[in-house]
Amino acid sequence: MLFATLASCLSFIACAPTQVLAGPALARPSSSTLKPLAKHTSSSIASTSSPIALETPVVAIQATSETSDDVSYWLADITHQGIAAFNSNPSTYKVFRNVKDYGAKGDGVTDDTAAINLAISDGGRYGPASRETSTTTPAIVYFPEGTYLISTSIIDYYFTQLIGNPNSIPVIKATAGFTGLGLIDGDQYQSDGGQGWGSTNVFFRQIRNLKLDLTNIPATSGATGIHWPTGQASSIQNVEIELSSASGTQHQGIFIENGSGGFLTDVTITGGLYGANIGNQQFTMRNLVISDAVTCISQIWDWGWTYQGLKLSNCTTALAVNNGGAGDQLVGSVTVLDSTIQDCSTFVATAWASSTFSNGSLILENIVLEDVTVAVKGTSGTILAGGSTTISAWGQGHKYTPDGPTNFQGTFTAPTRPSALLASGSSNYYTKSKPQYETSPIASFVSIRTAGATGDGSTDDTSAIQSALTSAASSGHIVYFDAGTYKVTDTLYFPPGSRIVGEAYPVIMASGSVFSTISKPIPVVQVGKSGESGSIEWSDMIISTEGSTPGAVLIEWNLAADAGSGMWDVHTRIGGFTGSEQQVAQCPTSAAVSTACEVAYMSMHITSTASDVYLENVWLWTADHDLDSAENTQISVYSGRGLLVEGKNIWLYGTAVEHHQLYQYQFSGANNVVAGFIQTETPYYQPSPNAANGPYPTNSTLNDPDYSTCLSGNCDALGLRVLDSEDIVVYGAGLYSFFNDYSTTCSTFPTPENCQSEIFSVEGTTSNLVVYTLSTVGVTNMIVKDGTSLAVVSDNLATYAATIAYFTL
């Protein structure tokens, strides 16, 4: 994420009075209103509609006997005994809320808006503008099957999961007179004209298994399905949006004006002017299906974006990346792979031209066209002809192969994909969405609280959890972690065969002397032991630490896994939350480094015995600020290493690693890795101390970088280091360094860009490495190989970030 208290008045746009965004902002933003202002102020979108009511009408909670589904789903039927351990009222605070318990009827006739909004807000939760972030009021808001009529927006709150019954998808249907920015408004604009939350800080939220129906709303009124400016650890999964496809339609399915996201998968949108009208620093979108829209995807702006498995059909333009026009392109880069475009006049509309700037960088790999007139259309006509054909690999922008920059536009040879990474019988990469166990009966689940763990944040739950995990794996049960904070004082071992799913991101919090030695790494969660094989599915959870824990390796994955094993929406959150004792009080930025604020040896280690590891939407985050401070106050907590990959056959879809001392991602002796989008941030305290001088000494067994060959300038933590590894393809990377000792003067575009000298290092015997659409911020040398710079920032200026479209050794 990017901490956003920095000057928001870097240009006249942010300082000008902003109108409240009440109605949909549908007019294609002009370049003058959408210029990126800074890394976190990207767009200014004005609308002339009148403000919508900010108050949620209150309805009395009505008892109802209609809360259950006809088609059952275990998540609704299981006993709800999750708690918010650090809430001020843990005994009364409700994590799980069924909208029908709050009076929603779901009968397609009653206006359910107020009831749904009450289900979200109930219990003293923080709404938009009431607080920047918070961890003490998690909630699942559950929709049984039914049709829920709404007349104004469902106002989404922070740390909320809106979940429908996947076995009978509930429909949220707008009335004809609907008003509001989005049937679901993920970041409601306030009367002061600003978003409720800084969009780069909206974490820990999901929308799943819903259908949004906008067809009652007249086609010519602007209308939006989901307004979703959001940050990391957010996801939309299994959602259908139906828009008007009548001629002249002004509807849009998903509207994202900015943020630092994010992940989306399995979304189907029909109709509209724009299926998706979206801008953000970076995002990963998978299996996005859009048909019958004028423009399927309108890319407002970005630094980088990875689309995998797009299916765009029956449109005028499938993907418009030309916003701003030739001289002022607002789209930094886009990578599209494994996609199908059908019956569209144009696949990609671009404004790229060969220049010293690299805005508009584009990579297309393995794209099937069926009846597409023009594949790539530039400002003066066809660049790549369409037809019914397959684009094996095509790109434009700056390339380094390995030297550069060379402006290129055209086909090139795609890297050979390791067969171990492919879906069976296909040339596409393997993918798998988060399991929701929708066909499993309730008898398949064992609740961790029923099994004796408390989740109260203070009791030592280690042995209760371990015995539940061991017996569930042998009996084939799925372990349900009720919401809560589970304190553990020793390693939890996930045996092969484990299936583990959390309720509203329960927290496993490591604490105590076992984890207290900086020279003795101990796993908190150990996924299989070295030499073991089998399958694991793990989703919706957070791993954290409490107090001084410099020996904690939050996740250690040793398992040689069966196909389909992985982690979905599992995050590390190290420091910066109530209960961690690693907050403003203990670890203010003004304090000298102390053991009290040394909080993790490593976020995640995929060891050399591990194979077939699938990570999707995983954010490994050392806190840069205190999520429970009223003003998002920055803190200095110190963790050693981010994600170390030593294994083989690894999928990293939509992952991010932030603020670790020695590196964020390190691939060392790794084999067969597909990754995209990957995103990193350097610790804000660096270079005082810098990567080599921080509290965590290097460990040669782990091949830590020692920074002895660092180029001149600040030797801050590497974002990505690839050492002695083979067959690595990165489909989109954003490696950012915004700060030097909490000051951003080193990252003010276009110059200076010198928060650190280098951030991406390729070393040793590494071979078959390809990195597409690499963006950096605040970095002087964008690519360094064995101590020699291959690419400097001044040759690759783009948007706020500098971008290289294509790098290979």
Ligand X SMILES: *[C@@H]1O[C@H](CO)[C@@H](O)[C@H](O)[C@H]1NC(C)=O
Residues that bind ligand X (CB under 6 A): 4, 8, 14, 18, 36, 40-45, 194-195, 198-200, 245, 257-258, 292, 314, 327-329, 355, 357, 359, 519-521, 699, 701-702, 798-799
Least separation in angstroms between residue 552's CB and ligand X is: 12
- Residue 88: φ, ψ to 5°: -70, -20
Residue of 447, 567, 555 lying closest to 510 (CA atoms): 555
β-bridge partners, 348: 319, 376
Least separation in angstroms between residue 537's CB and ligand X is: 26
Q: Which residue's CB is nearer to ligand X, number 273 or number 501?
A: 273
Q: Are 383 and 377 in contact, with CB atoms under 8 Å apart?
A: yes
Q: Which residue's CB is nearer to ligand X, number 65 or number 701?
A: 701
Q: Are 635 and 576 in contact, with CB atoms under 8 Å apart?
A: yes
| Angle, CA 195 vertex, CA 193 and CA 196 arms, to 5° | 115
- The set of residues, in sequence order, having a beta carbon less than 8 Å from that of 667 and lying 6+ positions away, is 645, 673, 720, 721, 722, 723, 725, 728
Q: Are 346 and 317 in contact, with CB atoms under 8 Å apart?
A: yes
Least separation in angstroms between residue 6's CB and ligand X is: 10
In 461-585, beta strands by DSSP E: 478-481, 485-488, 492-494, 499-502, 507-510, 522-527, 533-534, 537-545, 552-557, 560-561, 566-574
Least separation in angstroms between residue 271's CB and ligand X is: 6
Least separation in angstroms between residue 33's CB and ligand X is: 8
Whether the link from the prior residue into 90 is cis, omega within 30° of 0, is no
Q: Considering Cα of 238, then 610, then 501, then 632, what sign does the dihedral take?
A: negative
Q: Are 191 and 102 in contact, with CB atoms under 8 Å apart?
A: no
C-alpha 580/C-alpha 594 separation (Å) is 16
Q: Are 263 and 617 in contact, with CB atoms under 8 Å apart?
A: yes
Q: Which residue's CB is nearer to ligand X, number 33 or number 808?
A: 33
Q: Which residue's CB is nearer to ligand X, number 328 or number 371?
A: 328
Least separation in angstroms between residue 94's CB and ligand X is: 32
| Angle, CA 220 vertex, CA 115 and CA 248 arms, to 5° | 135
Q: Which residue's CB is nearer to ligand X, number 15 or number 61?
A: 15
Residue with tokens 């749904």: 116
Helix intervals (H) in 677-730? none
The number of beta carbons lying within 10 Å of the beta carbon of residue 268 is 18
Least separation in angstroms between residue 200's CB and ligand X is: 5
Q: Which residue's CB is nearer to ligand X, number 103 or number 272?
A: 272
Helix H or strand E segment including 75: helix 74-77
Burial class (CB in 10 A: 0-12, 13-18, 19+), 518: middle
Q: Which residue's CB is nearer to ligand X, number 237 or number 526?
A: 526
β-bridge partners, 398: 407
Least separation in angstroms between residue 65's CB and ligand X is: 42
Q: Which residue's CB is nearer to ligand X, number 40 or number 449?
A: 40
Q: Which residue's CB is nearer to ligand X, number 436 or number 773?
A: 773
User: How far lies 71's CA from each of 78, 107, 112, 213, in Å?
Assistant: 14, 16, 21, 21
Q: Are 263 and 288 in contact, with CB atoms under 8 Å apart?
A: no
Q: Are 558 and 538 in contact, with CB atoms under 8 Å apart?
A: no
Least separation in angstroms between residue 354's CB and ligand X is: 10
Residue of 319, 323, 315 lying closest to 307 (CA atoms): 319
Q: Which residue's CB is nearer to ligand X, number 36 or number 547?
A: 36
Least separation in angstroms between residue 574's CB and ligand X is: 18
Least separation in angstroms between residue 715's CB and ligand X is: 21
In three-state secondary structure terms, 743 is strand
Q: Are 478 and 441 in contact, with CB atoms under 8 Å apart?
A: no
β-bridge partners, 582: none
Q: Are 644 and 699 in contact, with CB atoms under 8 Å apart?
A: no
Least separation in angstroms between residue 558's CB and ligand X is: 11
Q: Which residue's CB is nearer to ligand X, number 199 or number 622?
A: 199
Q: Which residue's CB is nearer to ligand X, number 408 or number 430?
A: 408
Residue of 775, 759, 753 lying closest to 676 (CA atoms): 775
Least separation in angstroms between residue 503's CB and ligand X is: 30
C-alpha 773/C-alpha 530 separation (Å) is 35
Q: Which residue's CB is nearer to ligand X, number 38 or number 448?
A: 38
User: How far lies 511's CA from each of 52, 525, 587, in Å?
Assistant: 46, 13, 17
Q: Which residue's CB is nearer to ligand X, number 9 or number 61?
A: 9
Least separation in angstroms between residue 317's CB and ligand X is: 12
C-alpha 258/C-alpha 275 separation (Å) is 17
Least separation in angstroms between residue 608's CB and ligand X is: 10
Helix H or strand E segment including 60: none
Least separation in angstroms between residue 250's CB and ligand X is: 13
Q: Which residue's CB is nearer to ligand X, number 161 or number 799?
A: 799
Burial class (CB in 10 A: 0-12, 13-18, 19+), 638: buried
- Residue 117: φ, ψ to 5°: -65, -30
- For the chain, the distance separating the N- and C-terminal CA atoms, rounded to the nearest angstrom, is 30
683: tokens are: 């610790």
Q: Are 484 and 455 in contact, with CB atoms under 8 Å apart?
A: yes
Residue of 180, 96, 177 lying closest to 143 (CA atoms): 96
Least separation in angstroms between residue 328's CB and ligand X is: 4
Least separation in angstroms between residue 151's CB and ligand X is: 25
Q: Which residue's CB is nearer to ligand X, number 252 or number 714?
A: 252
Q: Which residue's CB is nearer to ligand X, number 265 or number 350?
A: 350
Q: Which residue's CB is nearer to ligand X, number 356 or number 439?
A: 356
